[in-house]
Structure 1
Amino acid sequence: MAIAPNVQWVLSGFGDEIDADPAVQIAVLQALGASYIEVRSAWGTNIVDLDDDQLARLKVLLDGAGMKVSAIASPIGKVDVSLPVEHEVERLRRAANAAKVLDAAYIRIFSFFYGEGVAVESIRDAVIERMRALAKVAEESGVILLHENEKDIFGDIPDRVLDIMETVASPALRVAWDPANFVQVGVRPFDEGYAKLRPHLEYLQVKDARLADGVVVPAGEGDGDLLRTVEALKADGYNGFASLEPHLADAYSLGGYSGPTAFGVAARAFAKVLAKAGVGTK
């Protein structure tokens, strides 16, 4: 008889990778064993653009299904760094309001795009200024920002992510670990990033990719070191969220899509990784 793992993480997922309709998002996630959802959009509208009535309607749907929200997957910081500081500060305030309505503790953010031909080192001060402003809003709002390492932003490689964390030094700014995004910028995630970023790591996004061509694949089938990362997190005492963001059918600047079937493939692939590591989900 198999022994159940004594370590259990909280399974979540990006609902809009399943369907635009949050009712469908909830149903599929629950069928896969998740009791949490990461909200990026609903009814085809991004989370920061949902009005009060839509947020209230979404809250009713979630409560009715017994589904909770692991994070607000905002697009904050996925804009050019040349925009005024207040541009993203205002959008973060809307995301913070959504987090309050939906009872979410976390808001995902990014560390800014920059123009073609612009040296990444030249934007550091502007990025830090903006990240400090965002962290201040988070501190005032009682939420925690999760910086995602996205390709083509300042914080795309481990050293620059670490620079942001250490320089801003806010308890309201932490790391969301996305192995696929590291792979897509030529980084071997575990060997080159895990040790330095683990002290700041708060949230696991489940996505894998191949170094050879950058194509996103199910967890454990690429070069994202998912198994080694899960094993190390387990050994470190990690007890947080694991959020599925498969990107198996399509990916674009503000998100991705998998559909119910491919999302199920992604969930089952990650379940195999967790089983090898002796980690369960709840």
Structure 2
Amino acid sequence: EALLRTLPERGDLVLLDRMDHASLIDGATAGSARFRRYDRSDRSRLERLLAREGPRRRYIVTESVFSMDGDTPDLARLVELKRRHDAILILDEAHAIGCLGPTGAGLAEAAGLLDEIDIVVAPLGKALAASGAIVAGPRVVIDYLVNRARAFIYTTAPPPAHCAAVLAAMDIVQTEPERRHRLARNTERLRGRLAEMGLSAPGRMHIVPILLGSADRAVKISRDLLDRGYFVAAIRPPTVPPGTARLRVSVQADHTDDQIDGLCDALHKIVREEGCAGSL
């Protein structure tokens, strides 16, 4: 909110991916700039919105790893569009920082495009196991936020111990790349097992949505998994569109092969029992 409520001003246009997190949407709506949403599957809509005359400045705002779908935007195309239309590209690396890139800086680093991103937002509550967030960008932008962002000015500063914990986590991220390698391997193992079971798990990242359709089915299977010792949240409308309720698996580097296989075996048994009950 501190960024999107403060930086875009009246007369500007903020363009958000339709699947951006609610916090990004809330930040944009709290500001004075106009905002529009685009569907990244419609490659022409974003370009049409950027080409409109009128706005003083144009902002493109996207997540790097979408929190409910486990997929990523076409970052190279967004960079090309922001160059062509002189827009400002803001990338939220909440689910990618610590998990992707040679030093764990996120998707932009992994894609070799970090220098092309104007402003990076890095919430600290995922891989870094902390709270709060980092905003990284040109010095003039940071100075402006420090002096104008109400959400930054009128709040309590994080305690020194918290800042030390964040720095320690960043040190681990940078010096222990084997954690990212294990995360990638675990993700591949889980997605491979789900594919063998014939379950729909779109995307390719460590957030793995298992599409089940109805909300009731997702909740029931989630509870059945919990009874077997596996906590997998059921995500349902209004968080996701109707008819796309799902289980959301967050793969971790420290998950073992036995844990991943055990989850898949339990899920396979539940789905099989569900099918048998439905045929009675």
What range describes the TM-score normalised by the shorter chain of this pair? 0.3 to 0.5
**Whose relative contact order is higher, 1 or 2, with alpha carbons under 8 Å and at least 6 apart?**
1
* TM-score after normalising by structure 1: 0.36
TM-score by length of 2: 0.36
